[in-house]
Amino acid sequence: MKQRLSNPSSIVITGASSGIGEALALLYAAPGVALALTGRDSARLETVAQRCRAAGARVDTAVVDVADRAAMAEWLARVDAADPVDLLVANAGMSAGTGDGGETEEQARRILAVNVDGVLNSIHPLLPAMRARRRGQIAVMASLAGFRGLPGAPAYCASKAMVRVYGEALRGDLAGEGIGVSVICPGFVKSRMTAVNRFPMPFLMETDAAARVIRRGLERNAARIAFPWPMMAAVWLLALLPPSWTDGPLRRAPRKP
């Protein structure tokens, strides 16, 4: 089990066309590694794939909406049949805020469909085969925003809270079956998602640095990979304090567009 965690040879990464997903794909790309990558932008995804192939990896790409349950199941079944998956990184996600007005029902439902259903649609097609092999590793992309609801991004915070708690519970469920589960909780990381923010982002990390932190955590089969630590400490404190103390300051904080 430890060797498989340190050197996965068949890896699925969703949301691999930019941001953390792209950085992880490039970090894991090496001779003898099979990468299965999804993303919503075919041109960006192919650019990432070409860079991974140049590093020696075999790469399968698919432009699939992670919220499409049937399409994800079909693609993942094909990937696993060709190269039994050692590591799944359920990374695909989206964000939107209320800086340009209140959060609409359509916006909230789309965020939940991608961030919550997308994680389920990535995990469950692979679980039966991982269970049968009694090995594998699953990483789900939550966020430090999943520890405390923020007025500027209600659906995003709710989706990441669900992913965090689901992953923590799933880890316990699968521990006896040889399958590791890690929950990734980043703070602000440079990406297309954070590029639109019009407010200060404390402890903003470079994407490749975040990817290295995540890989080290996955190699240890860490239950939770939360970073950077000053931001993590601040969020934990917010979550511990009574809402009556924090609601006012949070309402006055800048909001994501």
Angle (deg, nearest 10), helices 42-54 and 19-28: 20
In degrees and rounded to multiples of 5, residue 13 shows phi and psi of -130, 120
DSSP 151-204: TT-HHHHHHHHHHHHHHHHHHHHHGGGTEEEEEEEE--B-SHHHHT--S--TT-
Tens of pLDDT, residues 37-69: 999 999 999 999 999 999 999 999 999 999 999
pLDDT above 90 for 168: yes
- The SS3 assignment for 140 reads strand
pLDDT above 60 for 91: yes
Contact indicator for 26, 17 with CB cutoff of 8 Å:
no
Per the annotation, the verdict on 156 as an active-site residue is yes
Longest dimension (CA), the chain: 54
Mean pLDDT across the chain, nearest whole number? Answer: 90
Rounded to two decimals, the pTM is 0.89
Angle (deg, nearest 10), helices 19-28 and 207-219: 60
Q: Could you give the CA distance from residue 24 to residue 203 in angstroms, rounded to a whole number? A: 20
Tens of pLDDT, residues 62-87: 999 999 999 999 999 999 999 999 99
- Domains located in the chain, CATH noted: 10-252 (3.40.50.720)
Contact indicator for 53, 109 with CB cutoff of 8 Å:
no
**Catalytic-role residue among 28, 75, 156, 227:** 156
Tens of pLDDT, residues 98-140: 556 678 999 999 999 999 999 999 999 999 999 999 999 999 9
**Who's near 176: CB < 8 A, 6+ residues apart?**
none
